[in-house]
């Protein structure tokens, strides 16, 4: 009995997970922008330029939105992104 | 509950957990860069000056891929890989670094550049452990390379201090298994201590100490101390940067290290663009007077290139990949040292179109007349220009061309050197970074 209960629970959990994935698919009648134009993909990650742009936008919001500590953190993240870009374009062997 | 039931429950729960939730919420950061260029030159590929030098033309391609797994703000794994075609058509179906550029491709040519753990520890200490990119605080003339080690950095409100240990090489690299019992005994290592302090918003000063030891080729025992200061300040529209380095200790058992270097750089808005100037002196000469720069096992110095003067032929080109030749490859300049002076100008014509022009001179700081028979220490004058157009925010196409008028260094008093053609180089470049 217990084995059966566990099996049912496992199936329920797996089904819930599958439903969550299914919910991310485009609604019927709408275009899949991800396949069509590489836009709004569920698993897309920012390019380094997009990341830097986003961080800059947040830094510009200034002390009205962020504390001094948070602004320092954002500036640190901007420097990190800039360092990555420099490292990618670094000359030499 | 019977043990089989407990096992079934554990397996089921484990499976369900593994599928329903990720083991750890990771932020995945991907980055990369693609560079390809066509090169036309009478010097760049061969690295040899000649009379009636043959024309060399080739295509080069480089891809760098980076992946960072961020477990939290305080823990991340940083990786970077490189895939080069040293030139199109070089080989296929091969196991070769930089190979695979010929018909059929299918070659093993991936290079691992960086693999390190980046940790933010308590007490505001950052630790980088593993194979990482690291450069000196002197515009990279001593070292600027990927190296394995540990770097600890502590940031204060207006200052930062870092301390590191890096193992450049171990003699067991080329030893047999019988020698493995000496692992860690005959090594080339570096200890670094680096401090930076912001005096004001515009003025920063720093000091750095690098200790290089190398006892791989006993009884030669190298123990070189490199000590220097660096600074940056703004006076009105003028930005100045510079450094001074001195070296002491033992270059070998019989020779003391006496190298030194000085640099001053300036930048200022002039007209619609920005004017730049750089001056560098790196000592040269016998008896340990030339600047010590650590070299890798392949014999190439890992640093020592001076890129801030924006030269193509006189010193190393910022666009060069595995084919990387220059009149002055590193500032040690085969123990002759170097005096560089350059001016340049950058301008953005439109938000998408930009251009630069540069003029640079080079002198060997100290030549050994008894050996080299050079008519003078003057290496020559380079003039170059480039233009870049941003097709998209992440894609740039450009052209860069340089020409060098060789100095009398390349003429000998006796005529034994012969005469050389002045070298030139033209590149058409496409770049994508993401």
A88 touches B: beta carbon within 8 Å = yes
Q: Alpha-carbon distance B371 to B245, whole Å? A: 28
What residues of chain A, 21 to 80, have a C-beta less than 8 Å from chain B? 45, 47-49, 51
How far separated are the first and last CA of chain A, in Å rounded? 65
CATH number belonging to domain B28-433: 2.40.160.100
pLDDT digits (tens, 9 = 90+) for B93-132: 999 999 999 999 999 999 999 999 999 998 889 999 999 9
B216 DSSP assignment: T
What does the pLDDT average to over B51-70?
A: 95
Q: Quick one: pLDDT at residue B303?
A: 75
Query: Is A90's Cβ below 8 Å from some Cβ in B?
Result: yes
Domain definitions of chain B by residue range: 28-433
Q: Whose CA is closest to B230, among B247, B245, B211, B248? A: B245
pLDDT, one tens digit per residue, over B284-334 is: 998 889 999 998 766 566 777 899 999 999 999 999 999 999 999 999 999
Contacts with A45 from chain B: Cβ below 8 Å:
28-30
pLDDT at residue A18 in the model: 44
- In the prediction, which pLDDT does B16 show? 46
Q: What does the pLDDT look like over B265-292, one tens digit per residue? A: 999 999 999 999 999 999 999 888 999 9
Cβ B206 vs Cβ B197: under 8 Å: yes
Higher confidence at residue B65 or residue B295?
B65
Both tokens of B12, joined, read 């089921």
- B365 touches B338 (CB < 8 A): yes
pLDDT in tens, B17-48: 444 444 567 888 899 999 999 999 999 999 99
CB within 8 Å of B37: residues ≥ 6 apart: B59, B60, B319, B427, B428, B429, B430
Which one, of B109, B251, B30, B290, lies nearest residue A47 by Cα? B30
Exposure string over B204-230, b if 16+ CB within 10 A, otherwise e? bebbbebbbbbbbeeeeebbbbbebeb
A64 to each of A22, A52, A54, B129, how far by Cα in Å?
40, 20, 17, 37
What is the token pair recorded at A57?
């936008």
Helix pair angle (A2-23, B3-20), 10° resolution: 10
**Distance between CA atoms of B315 and B361, rounded to whole angstroms?**
10
- pLDDT bracket for residue A8 (50, 70, 90): low
Whether residue A88 and residue B31 make contact (CB cut-off 8 A), yes or no, is yes
Residue B83 and residue B96 in contact, taking contact as beta carbons nearer than 8 Å: no
Best mutation target, B9, B198, B315, to test chain A (most A CBs within 10 A): B9
CA distance linking residue B192 with residue B161, whole number of Å: 10
Only one residue has tokens 């957990």, namely: B17
- Percentage, residues of chain B above pLDDT 70: 90
DSSP string for residues in B272-319: TEEEEEEEEEE---TTTTSPP--B-TTS-BSS----TT--SSSB--TT
Residue B341: the pLDDT is 98
What residue spans of B293-395 are helical by DSSP H?
A: 369-372
Q: What percent of chain B has pLDDT over 90?
A: 77
Residue whose structure tokens are 């396949």: A35
Nearest to B279 by CA among B302, B254, B309: B309
Token reading at B286: 């016998």
Query: A11 touching B, CB under 8 A?
Result: no
CA angle B351/B203/B234 to nearest 5° reads 50
Q: Between B19, B28, B35, which is nearest A45 by CB? A: B28
Query: pTM to 2 decimals?
Result: 0.85
- How far is A72 from chain B, CA to nearest CA, in Å? 10
Task: Please judge whether A48 and B31 are an interchain contact, meaning their C-beta atoms are less than 8 angstroms apart.
Answer: yes
User: Whats the size of chain B, residue-wise?
Assistant: 434
From the list A91, A22, A70, A93, the residue with the least C-alpha distance to B296 is A93
Dist. CA B16–CA A89, nearest whole Å: 43
> Any idea which residue has 């000590």 for tokens?
B227
pLDDT of res. B21? 46
* Confidence band for A46, pLDDT divided at 50, 70 and 90: confident
When the pLDDT of each residue in chain B is averaged and rounded to a whole number, the result is 91
| Cβ–Cβ under 8 Å, residues B265 and B294 | no
Cα atoms in the Cβ-side hemisphere of radius 13 Å centred on B421: 16
Of the listed ranges B157-171, B172-186, B208-222, B242-256, the least confidently predicted one is: B172-186
Distance from the B165 Cα atom to the nearest Cα atom in chain A, whole angstroms:
21
Whether B143 contacts B293, CB under 8 Å: yes
A2 touches chain B (CB under 8 A): yes
Buried-exposed string B13-49: b where 16+ CB fall within 10 A, e elsewhere = eeebeeeeeeeeeeeebebbbbbbbebebbbbbeeeb
What is the distance in angstroms between the CA of the first residue and the CA of the last residue of chain B?
Answer: 55
**pLDDT for residue A41:** 77
> B31 and A17: CB-CB below 8 Å?
no
């Amino acid at each position: 009995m217990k084995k059966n209960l566990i099996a049912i629970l496992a199936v329920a959990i797996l089904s819930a997970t599958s439903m969550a994935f299914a919910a991310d698919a485009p609604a019927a009648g709408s275009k899949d922008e991800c396949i069509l134009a590489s836009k709004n993909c569920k698993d897309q990650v920012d390019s380094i330029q997009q990341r830097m742009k986003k961080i800059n936008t947040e830094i510009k919001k200034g002390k009205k939105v962020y504390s001094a500590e948070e602004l320092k953190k954002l500036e640190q993240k901007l420097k990190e992104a800039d360092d990555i870009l420099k490292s990618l374009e670094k000359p030499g062997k | 509950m019977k043990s089989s039931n407990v096992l079934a429950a554990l397996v089921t729960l484990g499976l369900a957990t593994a599928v329903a939730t990720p083991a750890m919420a990771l932020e995945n950061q991907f980055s990369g860069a693609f560079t390809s260029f066509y090169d036309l030159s009478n010097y760049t590929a061969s690295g040899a000056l000649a009379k009636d030098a043959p024309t060399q033309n080739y295509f080069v391609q480089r891809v760098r891929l980076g992946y960072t797994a961020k477990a939290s703000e305080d823990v991340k794994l940083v990786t970077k890989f490189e895939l080069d075609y040293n030139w199109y058509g070089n080989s296929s179906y091969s196991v070769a670094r930089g190979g695979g550029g010929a018909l059929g491709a299918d070659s093993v040519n991936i290079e691992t550049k960086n693999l390190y753990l980046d940790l933010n520890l308590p007490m505001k200490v950052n630790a980088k452990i593993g194979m990482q990119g690291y450069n000196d605080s002197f515009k990279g003339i001593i070292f600027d390379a990927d190296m394995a080690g540990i770097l600890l950095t502590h940031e204060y409100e207006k200052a930062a201090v870092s301390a590191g240990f890096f193992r450049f090489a171990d003699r067991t690299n080329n030893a047999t298994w019988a020698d493995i019992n000496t692992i860690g005994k005959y090594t080339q290592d570096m200890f670094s201590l680096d401090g930076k302090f912001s005096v004001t918003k515009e003025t920063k000063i720093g000091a750095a100490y690098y200790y290089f030891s190398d006892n791989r080729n006993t009884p030669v025992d190298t123990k070189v101390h490199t000590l220097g200061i660096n600074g940056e300040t703004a006076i009105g529209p003028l930005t100045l940067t510079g450094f001074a380095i001195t070296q002491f200790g033992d270059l070998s058992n019989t020779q003391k290290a006496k190298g030194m270097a000085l640099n001053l750089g300036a930048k200022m808005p002039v007209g619609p663009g920005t004017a730049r100037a750089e001056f560098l002196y790196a000592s040269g000469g016998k008896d340990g007077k030339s600047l010590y720069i650590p070299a890798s096992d392949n014999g190439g110095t890992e640093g020592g290139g001076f890129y801030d003067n924006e030269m193509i032929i006189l010193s190393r080109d910022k666009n060069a990949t595995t084919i990387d030749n220059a009149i002055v490859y590193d500032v040690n300049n085969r123990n002759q040292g170097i005096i560089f002076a350059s001016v340049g100008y950058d301008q953005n014509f439109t938000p998408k179109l930009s251009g630069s022009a540069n003029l640079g001179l080079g002198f060997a700081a100290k030549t050994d007349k008894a050996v080299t028979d050079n008519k003078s220490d003057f290496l020559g004058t380079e003039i170059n220009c480039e233009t870049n157009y941003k097709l998209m925010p992440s894609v740039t196409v450009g052209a860069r061309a340089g020409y060098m008028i060789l100095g009398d260094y390349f003429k000998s008093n006796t005529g034994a050197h012969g005469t050389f053609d002045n070298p030139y180089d033209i590149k058409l470049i496409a770049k994508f970074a993401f």
